[in-house]
Amino acid sequence: MGGDVRVAMVTGASEGIGEAISGRLCGLGYRVAMVARRSDKLDRAVADVGEGAFAVPCDLSSPEEIAGAVDAVGGQGGRIDALVNCASTTRFGSALALSDAEWMSGFEVKVFGALRLMRAVWPHLVETKGAVVNIGGTGARTPRFAHAMSGPLSAALTAMTKAFADGGVEAGVRVNQINPGGVLTPRFAGWLQAQAEGSGRSLDEIAAEAARHGGFARYGTPEDVANLVAFLLSPEGEWLQGAVIDMDGGMTKGL
């Protein structure tokens, strides 16, 4: 095994939830390999996170780049203790509007990218008795016609989480999943801001109204999700295996 400092890989790390997770784990003493496709955005995020973070540019639709990224992290960090699959190219759109190419892109990154990473990182995690946290979405249990892609992608990721968790029992690797609801990432907040400007109201007013009508407490923040990831990777979360946790302020009403 490498050095004493724990090492985590976080995908989708150039903004939003992935960047917040990276910052949280660096604050806990991890060295964090921040993984994303666009080097310019990734370099900015690494600079914002600061000490402990380093950039690993990678196109998760490329098996070759994934293998190279895992080798680079293992070589630079000497070990890999955690993998957080947060990357997504999910498109907004109805079931009728989304093209085959958009569907394929969504599955290629969120599902196959996560699968390939888990396979590549697994030997490292077995050695360190590490953990995986996959970031899905509540659409896995409440699919919607108007935002059709999120549900199937998150459901596929959920099934994969369960399968790897089953194998992880004997291997000593914990595998769990978080399904966030509405999180105020830059992209989602930008969409809400456009709605607010169109109605002459503030972003806070639009968000509060949506929460009232939807029967949930509030929209989440990337830091909310990062805090739960930190718990799942901690010794306090070690009895959780194959858990799929809805984190949505009460938005999901089903059992």
Residue-by-residue pLDDT tens, the chain, 255 positions: 567 899 999 999 999 999 999 999 999 999 999 999 999 999 999 999 999 999 999 999 999 999 999 999 999 999 999 999 999 988 888 999 999 999 999 999 999 999 999 999 999 999 999 999 999 999 998 888 988 889 999 999 999 999 999 999 999 999 999 999 989 888 888 878 887 888 888 888 888 888 888 888 998 999 999 999 999 999 999 999 999 999 999 988 877
Q: What is the pLDDT of residue 46?
A: 98
| 155 and 190 fall within a common domain | no
Residue 254 counted as domain residue: no
In a domain, 251, yes or no: no
Are 208 and 140 within one domain? Answer: no
What's this model's pTM, rounded to 2 decimal places?
Answer: 0.93
Could you tell me if 112 and 189 lie in one domain?
no
Beta strand ranges found along 76-123 (DSSP E):
82-85
Q: Is 135 strand, coil or helix?
A: strand
- Is 253 contained in some domain? no
Two tokens, residue 69: 């990224």
- 49 shares a domain with 77: yes
Q: How far is Cα 172 from Cα 45, in angstroms, rounded to an integer?
A: 32
Please indicate, yes or no, if residue 208 is contained in any of the structural domains.
yes
Are residues 192 and 96 part of one domain?
Answer: no
> Are residues 136 and 88 located together in one domain of the fold?
yes
Same domain as 199, residue 149:
no
Domain-located, residue 252: no
* Long-range Cβ contact pairs of 65-69 (< 8 A, separation 24 or more): 66/113, 66/116, 66/117, 66/120, 67/120, 69/9, 69/33, 69/35
Are both 104 and 189 inside the same structural domain?
A: no
The answer to whether residue 41 sits within a structural domain is yes
Q: What confidence score (pLDDT) does residue 2 get?
A: 63
φ, ψ of residue 13 to 5 degrees: the values are -90, 0
- Note whether 14 and 41 are within 8 A (CB): yes
Q: Are residues 68 and 31 part of one domain?
A: yes
Regarding whether 236 and 202 lie in a shared domain, the answer is no
pLDDT of residue 191: 78
Residue 74 belongs to a domain: yes
* Total domains, the chain: 2
Same domain assignment for residues 225 and 108: yes
Residue 104: domain span: 7-183+221-246
192 & 234 share domain: no
Q: Decide: residue 248, CB within 10 A, 0-12 exposed, 13-18 middle, 19+ buried.
A: buried
Is 255 within the bounds of a domain?
no
CATH of the domain at 171: 3.40.50.720
